[in-house]
Structure 1
């Protein structure tokens, strides 16, 4: 699998490049800012662009803006944002603007090599990956008037894992439940959130958006 890496911190960038090579990824190029990242993708589109959220010149949302430009020009390229801190509104923007092939992880996740590699492959496959710490933070912020108030504890667990991008099979393995039980919980979540089937059936995305907005 082919990737490009963009981060203005030289040591982290080199370390990440070595980590990716050690777990079987081909690093096509490295960049120190968003503009260079976009240029590298244009030269030879990778499967995934791994971007630091904050890069020069302003150290604001340059990585996110680069991700938006990349997806507008090369829709098949997955984008994975890495951040030093949990910032829910940026993850929400990713979820809102793109239907899949995106991820938001804390930089600490890179050290868990096997898990990080799996997350990258999921993004490349068109899935959405959200950092578990962000999900936990949003759960902790729940209010009584929360739109998720009607969900049972089990359904909240399922939705939390859904927000991390897990499939029904993966959720079943994580919660030690049958796939049929997970499917029943997912169906119940859709019903309680008023998400009726539509032609594109993006109810999973809409359910997770509801979850993320509820934590704001």
Structure 2
């Protein structure tokens, strides 16, 4: 029997802590420790070695971005631990800071979406498995930024749509389900994206997906 995913949760609002804990527990996810400040969050990640750390951005000490800084510290100290940041506001810059040089094992969700139990539990599973779970509104904000001309201009509207869903963390089958098309159709779009971005078959498909998403978010 597969072991339950282990989570450390950090949030300074009791109602959020209770709500998230309830959602995860009902989904069969083990919340091993709950803390209310960034210092204890970093300590708990080191002591409990969870599969995933979930944290609010705004937490003591300082009540600014201490939670985000704690998440970055956890990523740096424990690369095998996934990190999900919860935010009350849409802050694309925070998402880019969290992604850094690798979107694997990273999630950024708006708190209003966490009210949907499946959204949170699905994100935890994806991040625990080394995938990403970036909120669709955050992706839309990043995609909508003005950017310099480049290889992304060669993508078709459908390829852009597929790449945006890749950036959210969806697999080919997940994208196919969202767009109501076949998996082979999505595979053709993904191949087209790789070719237009100059990502050649000498690298693994997973590596090319990571590079494509990262460049898309940061370009």
User: Does the TM-score normalized on the shorter chain lie above 0.5?
Assistant: yes
Matched, 1:212 2:180: no
Distance 1:147 1:91 in 2: 23
Question: Corresponding residue for 1:174?
Answer: 178
Q: How many residues align?
A: 214
Q: Deviations over 1:74-100 (max 9, x none)?
A: 222111011111111221223224351
**Counterpart Cα distance in 2 of 1:166 and 1:178:** 14
Q: Distance in 2 between matches of 1:178 and 1:142?
A: 32
Give the C-alpha shift of residue 47 in structure 1.
1.4
- Counterpart residue number, 1:195: 199
SS at match of 1:149: helix
Q: CA RMSD, aligned part only?
A: 2.0
Structure 1 segments of 4+ aligned residues over 6 angstroms from their partners: none
Structure 1 portions without partners, runs of 5+: none
TM-score by length of 2: 0.88
Partners of 1:209 and 1:186 lie apart in 2 by: 15
Measure how far apart 1:125 and its partner are: 0.6
Contact 1:31–1:37 under 8 Å retained in 2: yes
Cross-structure match for 2:111? 107
Cα deviation for residue 199 of structure 1 reads 4.6
Contact 1:163 1:208 in 2 (8 A): yes
- TM-score, with structure 1 as normaliser: 0.90
* 1:138 equivalent in alignment to 2:142: yes
Structure 2, gaps ≥5 residues long: none
Q: Give the CA deviation at 1:144.
A: 7.6
Which residue, 39, 47, 61 being the options, matches 1:57?
61
CA positional deviation for 1:210:
2.5
Q: CA deviation at 1:206?
A: 2.0
